[in-house]
Amino acid sequence: MFTGIVEIIGVVSELNPQSEDGGTNLTISNASGILDDCHLGDSISVNGTCLTVTAFDKSTFQVGVAPETLRRTNLGSLKQGSHVNLERAVSASTRMGGHFVQGHVDTVGIILKIEPDGNALTFRFQPREKSVLRYVVEKGYVTLDGASLTVTKVDDGEGWWEVMLIAYTQDKVVTASKKQGEEVNVEVDQIGKYVEKAVEGYFSNGSGGEPAILQKMVERIRIGTQALLTVLRLFSTPFEGFYRKYAIAVAQWTAGPHYFDAWCYDDGPRDDLGVGL
């Protein structure tokens, strides 16, 4: 797990394709700032992708990139000399300056527009997988190439969101040097996914039918409405007409027309409890 606070920018010094499985070995240099406590098997976020260290020395390290990772991320477009955001996995003493980042990229986003705003830059992104948009909310978090950033604007209809890079951040992340049309790795806030699944499970009866919790709610409303109509039939008040009309309107909305099969009496239509309409 990571925080989305980029520690240093590394440089891709070597790419070695592996024909057996279609993956790639990456060697990244200029990384001495994060290797002083490194061990084989450690996780390092490379442009927001959690990768395992397979070899390292004082200033370089090597990671393997699986075919699935190449398909889902922008790592397949890296070349010798490309710059990448780097962050070590969190430790017990790490300050949580960003948000919980897993390093599991959801999709890539295309830069639609870059606009200066004073000394800041506003970037507009459109995701390749449109389904991730439901997890992107204004003032929420999104991870772009491993950097935790705040969403400043979202347009679900047109399918984009915006973030702003202040002057300080521009010097710390690779996104600031990218141009319109280039891609970034996108990881949405995982908390939104967990909440969505929990809510779906709570409201679902597991059979694809009417949500069980809604069935219970409707049944309780029906029982309550029947009791209310019975009380109104037994007691007369100065506001009897108003209460009856209100109760019947609620009952018609909740219980449905099958319950209120009205017929006419001499003094006007009544419901099946005998309450005047």
Q: Are strands 141-144 and 183-188 parallel, antiparallel or unpaired?
A: antiparallel
Which 3 state secondary structure label does DSSP give 183?
Answer: strand
- Report the C-alpha gap between 159 and 128 in whole angstroms: 10
- Report the C-alpha gap between 35 and 31 in whole angstroms: 7
- Report the C-alpha gap between 6 and 147 in whole angstroms: 6
CA distances from residue 73 to 21, 40, 68, 266, 271 in whole angstroms, order as listed: 17, 24, 9, 75, 63
Catalytic positions, written as ranges: 2, 43, 50, 52, 66, 104, 150
The answer to whether the beta carbons of residues 141 and 151 sit under 8 Å apart is yes
Amino acid at 51: L
DSSP string, 119-133: TEEEEEEEESSGGGG
CA distances from residue 250 to 146, 224, 257, 263 in whole angstroms, order as listed: 52, 10, 12, 19
